[in-house]
Chain A
Amino acid sequence: MEPERPDENGDGQQSQGLKRGGAAGVVARARAQGLALKERAEAEAKTYKDPQQTQLWKSIFRVSHDRSDPRNRSLAILSNVFLHLHPAKINRDATRYSFTWGMGGITFYLFIVLTFTGILLMFYYHPTKVQAFRDILYLEHDVPFGKLLRNMHRWAAHLMIITTWLHMFRVVLTGSYKRPREFNWCVGVVLLVLTLLLSFTGYLLPDDQLGFWAVTVGTNMARATPGFGSEGPFGPQLGMTPFNDVRFGLLGGSIVDANALLRSYIWHCIGIPVVASLFMAVHFWRIRKDGGISGPAPVMLESEMKAAKK
């Protein structure tokens, strides 16, 4: 091919072109090539009008979402890591709000909100006696949206406890703990306890009077643990003192102080969330393995009750 970029090449080539067709010929050829390039670019741009047909899109989304035929609807769920916990299809009445109350899902969503706001809060918080309380003041008065962040974390935590209880209540009212879901109910009870402990360990972190005395009252009960508490039945006989009993282990000391702050911080931010995540994974997985959401199932009649297996 003859030179397409006349400026880049030196005078010698330009003079060659001059020899062949003169200056007008060079211009005409350049124009023709320019037009061809433009047409090609336009044609290419038209294909970009449908982003779902691009290589970039297809590399991210494994299936096309431009049609809503049954196959694609199923694939939308099955091929997505976040949605694949769901089955592709469910009982048509199960999407009714009145059946599930949505409380389990909302509890999980609140856990996500709490993780998100909690991570942001960790950027501004030091679990030390000197700084903890000042960090809260700093959050409330200086950090942009710091007050909103702390408020959201607090209220989401309270709300999560209420939604957990209501979820449990619904499961009882619909008999959803019955065979084959007994074990998943137990996993749920563990998650309930972990939710309460998460909230409790977070209570101390602002290092204010409210948290301090609530945790003092709460951990004082541990003193009375039979066998393991310094004031519990058989505790002193087994050598328990305020400096080696179970309360000491919880607080890292005999009073609620710097070590207690650090311990609750680590339990709150790392220990319990990790354990709770594991139990959540099992909880959600078992929902699917136990046959998905329990209902609304067709009612059974008393007259159809089979005789008990002897």
Chain B
Amino acid sequence: MAMAIERPRSNRWLLWLVGSLAVVGVLALMVEDWGQLWKISSAPDNVPIVGMIPLVIFFTWLGLKQSKENDQLVETLEEDPALAKTHHRKTHPWRPGWAREIHVWPYLVRVEFLAAIIVTVILFAWSILLNAPLEEPANPNLTMNPSKAPWYFLGLQEMLVYFDPWIAGVVMPGLLVVGLMVFPYVDSNPLGNGYYSWRQRRFAVSMFMWGFFMWIILIIIGTFIRGPGWIWFWPGQTWDHNAVVFDRNRDLHEIIALYGLPFLNTSPFKEIFGALVVGFIFVAGGLFFHWLMLRRGLERSDFKSFRAFWNWASRSGEFEKKLLERTSILQYLTFQFFAISVLWLFPVKLILRLAFTIKYIWVTPWFNV
């Protein structure tokens, strides 16, 4: 009976190491103002964010590594039905005769106890080495510039740049919370319950990661990039309090109107135009997610030729088709609604604003999108 799957030793980590060192080196060369960078990174309330970045990277790696191990096991067992009947179906070591269950006392309690001690030691060390921030007494007449929300809400504050406050501050967070809650109810995939896996749950996991990493990237933008006046300063640029940005952001209909369509600047054409474009973005988002959820996993052979890649992009995966069949219409529509309005609309607006200086897509007297 196969106990464990042998993996060839590889030196790929060395390549990764050299590659990432090179990237870090190039980035370091681009830093103009190390003092500014240090000032931001060492601000006491930013230290948790600086710490969170490697933690998130580490745990993403740890999770994906175990997913990959389980995927390999699944592959092996799928190929060998006889083995599937006898194998204990975990990547963890197993010997016949070992108890399936062990006593919580002491085997779990001691782990918890140890964890509590380690966390306490870390907290003590952290609290001795670094003081909690305390600024001057609150003064409503002296506005802090930049004045920032607590770091975990910086994502919402960053959204304020792209959306009306009622969308960024109220509707988006509401959708985010409700969207998280419906997550288990729209995932109709019965596989991958209680073990790490990527192959069996590619779409669900990547949708969550999309949102999670977007949230973390927004925090990083809000912390390290947004300076005085909420102006975009690249990390390493000096925060210039006198910087004035010539804001040439325009609404989409104004830009289009320049191409010989002046009537677009008048009501009701500009509202109709905006509604059509927003509708188009929603449909495009829906089509994109529909396409994405039917893709099988990318393999290296898919990049060999354009034809191979086209094959991947145009043909639905068998397993993915089965999953879609299991999804009810209500589940599908609920998923699409949250995916488009949270996961899709936001990056689209971010790119339109930052890369194409488009302010709003849909301007009405009551609200703007």
Contacts and interface: CB of A to CB of B under 8 A. Distances in A.
Interface of A: 70, 73-74, 76-77, 83, 86-99, 101-102, 105-106, 109-110, 113, 133, 136-137, 140, 147-148, 150-156, 158-159, 161-162, 165-166, 169-170, 172-179, 181-182, 185-186, 189, 192-193, 196, 199-200, 203, 206-214, 216-218, 220-226, 229, 231-233, 255-256, 294-303, 305-306, 308
Max chain B CB contacts within 10 Å: which of A94, A210, A218? A210
Given A154-B132, A297-B195, A102 B111 contact: yes
Interface of B: 45, 48, 51-52, 55-56, 59-60, 62-64, 66-67, 70, 73-74, 77-78, 84, 88-90, 92, 98-109, 111-112, 115-116, 119-120, 123-124, 126-128, 130-140, 142-144, 147-150, 152-153, 156-157, 160, 164-166, 168-171, 177, 180-181, 183-185, 187-197, 200-201, 204-205, 208, 212, 319, 322, 325-326, 366-367
B134 A214 contact: no
B84 A209 contact: no
B132 A155 contact: yes
A196 B195 CA distance: 28
A151 B73 CA distance: 46
In the complex, the 6 A-B pairs of residues with the closest C-beta atoms, listed nearest first: A221-B169, A297-B194, A295-B194, A298-B89, A224-B165, A212-B138
B123 to A, nearest CB: 6
Given A92-B102, A308-B326, A175 B195 contact: yes
Contact of B119 (A77, A106, A213): A106
Given A109-B115, A170-B59, A300-B190, A90 B99 contact: no
Contacts of B108: 86, 90, 94-95
A178 B112 CA distance: 25
Contacts of B191: 175, 300, 302, 305
B128 A223 contact: no
Contacts of B168: 221
Given A74-B105, A213-B143, 8 more contacts: A90-B102, A158-B48, A175-B201, A178-B193, A185-B184, A199-B150, A296-B195, A305-B190
Nearest to A308: B326
A299 B70 contact: yes
B143 to A, nearest CB: 7
Contacts of A74: 103, 105
A182 B185 contact: yes
A8 B98 CA distance: 71
A217 B111 contact: no
B193 A179 contact: yes
Contact of B107 (A95, A256, A295): A95
A300 B78 CA distance: 10
B82 to A, nearest CB: 13
9 contacts: A98-B62, A140-B131, A151-B127, A169-B208, A173-B64, A175-B204, A210-B134, A229-B166, A255-B140
Given A172-B208, A299-B77, A209 B177 contact: no
